[in-house]
């Protein structure tokens, strides 16, 4: 459990936690698959996408829109089609169209009445600017992969955030859906964490706890987090 009075800042992962990346990504992928006659279930496609994306992010830094575009090329290699350069470019920019979870804007407004809010996200600055508009508020700090030239689960992203926030780590509560990208590295750094288990009703990837991840609080939604923190 967590003590709501202990914290001054809530740091958030964005995609999967505040923004519904699965719905947004599939909306961009499905017409491409249909165009090339690719028959694959959504869950399997997202699983493969996640594996390819994580492998690219672990290598030399690339802009996130380049990562997304490159994953489409690699999906084509795996699934037997060759996307055009324009399709890859548009797919890389599709992040701007990914929708917010229905509860995110109102819950963030509730949380902002009590805490300062920060973003630590694997994204480009311009892509997040579009997502911030969808979330309907301004964050006090925004730390992106573009700014720090690395991708979570690299500890560098969190360490650079600590420098920007200039607060004791005990005053920071990190909130995220991804165990791999967020909860595990945050635990390694001694941060208190909240796992927003958005996939609690789905036994697929990302919904099962792993031994290395030890969140202090587990909630099914951002609205539930606002309730738990008394906001």
Catalytic residues: 13
Q: In what order do the strands lie in the sheet with 141-144?
A: 141-144, 116-121, 9-12, 172-176, 192-196, 217-219
* SS3 state at 219: strand
Report the alpha-carbon distance of residue 172 to residue 135 in Å, rounded: 21
DSSP 158: H
**Count of CB atoms within 10 A of residue 56's CB?**
17
Nearest to 180 by CA among 93, 122, 103: 122
Q: Which residues pair with 19 in a beta bridge?
A: 15, 100
Half-sphere exposure of 133 (CA within 13 A, CB side): 9
**CB count, 10 Å around CB of 17?**
24
108-118 burial by CB neighbour count: b if 16+ within 10 A, else e? bebbbeebbbb
Give CA 178 to chain center in angstroms: 7
């Amino acid at each position: 459990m967590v003590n709501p009075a202990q914290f001054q800042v809530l740091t958030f992962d964005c995609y999967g936690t505040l923004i519904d990346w699965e719905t947004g990504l599939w909306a961009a992928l499905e017409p491409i698959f249909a165009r090339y006659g690719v028959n694959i279930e959504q869950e399997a496609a997202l699983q493969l996408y996640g594996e390819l994306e994580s492998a690219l992010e672990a290598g030399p830094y690339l802009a996130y829109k380049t990562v997304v575009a490159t994953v489409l090329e690699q999906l084509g290699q795996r699934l037997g089609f060759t996307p055009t350069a324009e399709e890859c470019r548009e797919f890389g920019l599709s992040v701007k169209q990914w929708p917010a979870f229905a509860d995110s804007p109102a819950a963030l407004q509730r949380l902002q009445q009590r805490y300062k809010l920060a973003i630590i996200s694997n994204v480009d600055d311009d892509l997040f600017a579009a997502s911030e508009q969808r979330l309907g508020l301004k964050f006090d700090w925004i730390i992106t992969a573009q700014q720090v030239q690395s991708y979570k689960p690299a500890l560098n992203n969190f360490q650079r955030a600590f420098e920007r926030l200039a607060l004791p780590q005990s005053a920071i509560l990190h909130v995220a859906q991804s165990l791999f990208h967020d909860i595990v590295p945050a635990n390694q750094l001694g941060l208190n964490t909240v796992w927003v288990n958005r996939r609690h009703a789905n036994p697929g990837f990302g919904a099962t706890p792993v031994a290395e991840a030890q969140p202090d609080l587990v909630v099914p939604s951002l609205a539930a987090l606002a309730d738990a923190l008394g906001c």
